Amino acid sequence: MIAHLDDGVAPSGFDAQGSPRHDAAEPSLWAIHAAELLARRSEETEWIRDLYPALESILNYYRGGTRAGIRVDGDGLLQVGEAGVKPAALNALWYHALVAMAQLTRSLGRKENAAFYLAWARQHGQSFNERFWSERDGALFGAITSSGAEPGLEPAHLLAISLTSLLAPERARRLLERIERELFTPLGLKPEPGASRVDPAWLGTFLATWLRLHERSPEAQATVRGWIDTLRARLLAVAPDHVPAAFEWPAARRSGRRIDVLPLEDAVPVGASPLAAAELLRVWIEEIAHTPEPAGVASTGPMAALARSTL
């Protein structure tokens, strides 16, 4: 990915001829996050020194303006496109990239640079809270446009509380409660309230965040294990060898009913998602498997069976 950077923008994909597409801001920011995570876990620094100039160029290009209308506006928020839309989820990821860059820079002994990136992240975090938080709704606005703040709850808003929390504890809990109430099902998260389709790819992030904000208590562990068990039962029934890219409720499309009132047994799998499988296994390994199972929970972990059936 880094080898294909173009003015700081990493490719979002490749066409049939192998030519990269540079049309989204997120891939470059995920690259910074991934590099910091790998550096922290490997405890090696030589490869970071080689990669560092390319990673730093991403932030410099984004600040000054680059392809696809990506640039930092005067209010400190990252905007994209000709219309200069500022999505909440993208700005949460931008914040995490700044924090990750500060940590990477510190690991290389560049204390002044690290302080600069950390101060930049703090400034952005303040602007994020001022512009994106809706106190009335207990949630984030979906985006800031030329017309003002637009509502739009979505699973990607978990990014504001899942990596390095942008929100104060009370706001983080309120946002999670709103997402749980309006988007969450044990099979996946709806892309928006009222949708008749859910995406399992966000389940891992949701479960990890839910555990952390519930202080990983035995009760929280039992709840999450129960949700995973529900997912496992549906997978064994309709998709024993993979995790679907989505679950749909045909009856909801035909009748216009909300899927909240429809049984999970009616959910139909669509496609396959290696990302969803990887995220669920990550959460199982990092958040659950090492924790003693609460009383009354079967000793055979549900994700262990899921791993055997999907990988």
Q: What is the pLDDT of residue 122?
A: 96
Q: What is the pLDDT of residue 297?
A: 46
**Looking at the structure, do residues 213 and 251 belong to the same domain, yes or no?**
yes
Q: What is the pLDDT of residue 292?
A: 67
Q: Which of 120, 137, 168 is the last residue of a domain?
A: 168
- Give a yes or no: residue 176 inside a domain: no
Domain count for the chain, please give it: 2
What is the rounded CA–CA span in Å between residue 235 and residue 179? 23
- Give a yes or no: residue 174 inside a domain: no
**Looking at the structure, do residues 5 and 133 belong to the same domain, yes or no?**
yes
Give every residue of the chain whose pLDDT is below 70, as ranges. 253-256, 261, 292-311
What is the rounded CA–CA span in Å between residue 84 and residue 78? 9
Query: Quick one: 105 exposed, middle or buried, by C-beta within 10 A (0-12, 13-18, 19+)?
Result: buried
What is the rounded CA–CA span in Å between residue 82 and residue 146? 11
**Looking at the structure, do residues 23 and 160 belong to the same domain, yes or no?**
yes
**Looking at the structure, do residues 142 and 5 belong to the same domain, yes or no?**
yes
Quote the domain boundaries for residue 302. 183-311
What is the rounded CA–CA span in Å between residue 10 and residue 25? 8
Which amino acid, residue 60? N
SS3 state at 8: coil
> Can you say how many angstroms the Cα of residue 126 is from the centroid of all Cα atoms in its chain?
20
Exposed e or buried b for every residue in 176-213, given b needs 16+ CB within 10 A? Answer: bebbeebbbbbbbbbbeeebbbbbbbbbbbbbbbbbbb
- Give a yes or no: residue 178 inside a domain: no
**Looking at the structure, do residues 196 and 149 belong to the same domain, yes or no?**
no
- Give a yes or no: residue 196 inside a domain: yes
- Give a yes or no: residue 161 inside a domain: yes
Q: What is the pLDDT of residue 302?
A: 41
What CATH number is given to the structural domain containing 27? 1.50.10.10
Q: Packing angle between helix 302-310 and helix 218-238, nearest 10 degrees?
A: 30
- Give a yes or no: residue 227 inside a domain: yes
> Can you say how many angstroms the Cα of residue 192 is from the centroid of all Cα atoms in its chain?
15
